[in-house]
Amino acid sequence: MANKDADMSATTKTGWNSRLLVVVVCAATMTMKSLGAQPTVTNVIAQQRTSSSMVDISYDVFDISGHVQTVTMAISTNSGAQYLPLTPTAEGAIGAGVITGAQKQIVWHADVDLPDFSGSTVRVKITADDAFSSNLYLVVDVSAGPTAVSYPVTYLTSQPTLDDTYKSTRILLRKIPAGSFTMGSPTNELGRDTAEGPQHMVTLSVDFYMAVFEITQGQYSNVMGSTPSRFPQGALGSYRPVEQVSWNTVRGGTWPGGTPAAGTFMDVLRTKTGLAFDLPTEAQWEYACRAGTTNALNNNTNLTNIYSDGNMDLLGRYYCNGGSTVWDDPINGAHAAAGSYAANNWGLFDMHGNVWEWCLDCYGGYGGSVTNPPGPASGPYRVIRGGSWISNASVCRSAYRIHGTPDGFDYNIGFRPVLTTGQ
């Protein structure tokens, strides 16, 4: 919490008819400290409009984890000795869902809240809070198996202990806050492919839940009755990602718009929970993968080698840290058990490597600032993201993208579900 008091104006006149130059108190708080660094509020300036009681306030708010903020404003009428417990009559970048950035704007109707006070003694406090404690996690219990009529759904305010039940009989999803990010990669990023550009600003205006782990063979079997995986790996297979699943098997149907085809994984999960689970859009996938980072990998590092890289070694199974070099090993080969490597800032595992992940979108070019992009309206291919156990380091970067036919499948392609809030 950072506080700084200053007079709103040099004037001592009563009321709001005088011109006021406002210097404001800054504050930043964060409840879920384990998810990233504390947000900061800086460069706060406010000024009363000429011949008006309206006050224009601007500020910068930054959060390294990329969370959206809940911004509040408190008012003191006695030079900061005490702040009034009232909700200011204000509009603009205030309240829940404020996206981080510079020059955020608030318009305060000062005369409505403080009709009789002197501007010289008034202070304002701006607070940013990125806590997402309410319903932060969603759990689908699939332990009753494929014959169950329904799957219970519960919500948690904090991350549970990530034991093996969340890799076999329960599906755990974490709430991803709405926000904006730069999609794609810069032209000088090592390993870059031209399909990753041009970089462009994307806004996701609604929170969504994303599975913490790639769907495992145990989870898939509990929903669908069996696993198509080439590498079940004996008893350990239950905790490894399912593979050899096509887009049509996982989701099918039509997109943009449309619902999953009958009998697909998403259709069954929807039917038994009453919730509109789906694959992520390509924008949701990259936004969730990056988790507020801007470099090639989601621990905010860049590659030093396109084949074998020490930073990639920490984040997921790929060719050079035990992937394809031992793929015939019945215990250790191919993909790794879910969650074997470091999570990103939002607690998501294996966004780099292990198995590729299907997205909703048809594959195509992109560019230009856009909100909630669904991808191209049509096309013969669907987007696949994230790299796999058979990939080099450069292929596992946050921005790397490939495609496959909807009915295609391979032993290095899997998926993870999302649920957009309000659906």
pLDDT of residue 16: 46
Q: Are residues 181 and 312 in the same domain?
A: yes
- From 129, 160, 193, the end of a domain falls on 129
For residue 71, list its beta bridge partners.
Answer: 95, 128
Of 26-40, 115-129, 178-192, 313-327, the range with the lowest mean pLDDT is: 26-40
Q: By the 8 A CB rule, do 159 and 137 touch?
A: yes
Going from the C-alpha of 125 to that of each of 18, 61, 118, the distances in angstroms are 21, 14, 17
For residue 73, list its beta bridge partners.
Answer: 126
pLDDT of residue 36: 44
Q: Are residues 98 and 198 in the same domain?
A: no
CA distance 93 to 116: 26
First to last CA, the chain: 36
pLDDT of residue 37: 55
Quick check: is 143 in a domain?
no
Q: By the 8 A CB rule, do 267 and 245 touch?
A: no
Q: Are residues 366 and 227 in the same domain?
A: yes
Give which of 69, 65, 130 is closest to 95, Cα–Cα. 69
Q: By the 8 A CB rule, do 225 and 146 touch?
A: yes
Q: Are residues 118 and 209 in the same domain?
A: no
Q: Are residues 125 and 183 in the same domain?
A: no
pLDDT of residue 209: 97
Q: How many CA atoms lie within 13 A of 8 on its CB side?
A: 30
Quick check: is 414 in a domain?
yes
pLDDT of residue 313: 97
Helix (H, G, I), strand (E, B) or coil at 247: helix
> CATH number, domain at 269?
3.90.1580.10
Average pLDDT, the chain: 85
Quick check: is 81 in a domain?
yes
Mean pLDDT confidence for 164-188: 96
Please check the confidence at residue 330 and state whether its pLDDT lies above 80: no
pLDDT of residue 90: 84
CA distance 42 to 102: 9
Domain of 183, in residue numbers: 177-420
Quick check: is 86 in a domain?
yes
Q: Are residues 96 and 183 in the same domain?
A: no
pLDDT of residue 263: 98
Please check the confidence at residue 50 and state whether its pLDDT lies above 80: yes
Q: How many CA atoms lie within 13 A of 212 on its CB side?
A: 30
Give which of 88, 103, 17 is closest to 57, Cα–Cα. 103
Q: Are residues 99 and 195 in the same domain?
A: no
Residues in CB range of 81: below 8 A, 6 or more apart: none
- From 89, 114, 129, the end of a domain falls on 129
Quick check: is 300 in a domain?
yes
Four-residue CA torsion sign, 379, 385, 391, 394: positive
Q: Are residues 113 and 240 in the same domain?
A: no
Phi, psi for residue 45 in degrees, rounded to 5: -135, 140
The model's pTM: 0.72
Quick check: is 145 in a domain?
no
pLDDT of residue 22: 41
pLDDT of residue 66: 60
CA distance 140 to 389: 27
Four-residue CA torsion sign, 343, 349, 353, 356: negative
Quick check: is 154 in a domain?
no
Render pLDDT for 202-254 as a digit per residue (tens, 0 to 9): 999 999 999 999 999 999 999 999 999 988 756 567 899 999 999 999 999 99
pLDDT of residue 125: 82
Q: By the 8 A CB rule, do 344 and 351 touch?
A: yes
Q: Are residues 73 and 207 in the same domain?
A: no
Q: By the 8 A CB rule, do 323 and 334 touch?
A: yes
Q: Are residues 73 and 195 in the same domain?
A: no
Mean pLDDT confidence for 393-403: 98
Please check the confidence at residue 10 and state whether its pLDDT lies above 50: no
- From 94, 111, 129, the end of a domain falls on 129
Number of domains in the chain: 2
Q: Are residues 182 and 264 in the same domain?
A: yes
Q: Are residues 333 and 227 in the same domain?
A: yes
Q: What is the dihedral of CA 126, 130, 135, 140, to 10 degrees?
A: 160
